[in-house]
């Protein structure tokens, strides 16, 4: 027996049970159905931006303390790692500038074709 046949048999059984109900019970069921239909929300068309805003509002309403703490820790980690990487880069550039400005390099090094390679190898150390 497939789903359609099962659904038809269930419907027939329920319809048969309706005939056996007392009239006051069927009237109460009809009144309850009308009351439920009156309370049913009607669908309204809205733009996609309104729906997206509702999603974000609903998502952040249920935001708990643990999620907030985890998000804050993630933001602090990202900011601190970005500052650390930028600081390392500034220090590397400062070391290269210091080596260039000091008298450690012979004048011939500036005209040498391998000078760029020396700069890169000096910054990687």
Residue 55 lies in a domain: no
Could you tell me the two tokens for 11?
């419907």
Distance, CA of 110 to chain centre: 52
Residue 109 lies in a domain: yes
Measured CA to CA, the distance from residue 76 to residue 55 in angstroms comes to: 26
Which residue range forms the structural domain that includes residue 2? 1-40
Q: If you count them, how many residues does the chain have?
A: 125
Per-residue model confidence as pLDDT tens digits over 86-111: 999 988 888 777 776 766 666 666 67
Residue 21 lies in a domain: yes
Structural domains of the chain, count: 2
**Which of the pair, 80 or 61, is modelled with greater confidence?**
80
Same domain? 123 vs 88 = yes
Residue 48 lies in a domain: no
Measured CA to CA, the distance from residue 98 to residue 82 in angstroms comes to: 24
Could you tell me the two tokens for 76?
């602090």
Which residues are CB-neighbours of 121 under 8 A, at least 6 positions away?
none
Same domain? 35 vs 70 = no
| pTM of model > 0.85 | no
């Amino acid at each position: 027996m497939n789903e359609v046949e099962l659904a038809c048999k269930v419907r027939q059984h329920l319809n048969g049970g309706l005939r056996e109900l007392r009239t006051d019970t069927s009237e109460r069921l009809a009144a309850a159905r009308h009351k439920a239909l009156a309370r049913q929300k009607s669908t309204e068309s809205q733009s996609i931006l309104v729906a997206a805003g509702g999603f974000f509002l609903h998502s952040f309403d249920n935001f708990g303390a643990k999620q907030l703490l985890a998000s804050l820790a993630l933001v602090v980690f990202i900011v601190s790692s970005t500052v650390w990487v930028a600081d390392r880069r500034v220090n590397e550039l400062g070391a290269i500038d210091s080596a260039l400005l000091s008298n450690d390099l012979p004048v011939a090094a500036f005209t040498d074709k391998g000078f760029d390679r020396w700069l890169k190898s000096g910054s990687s150390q």
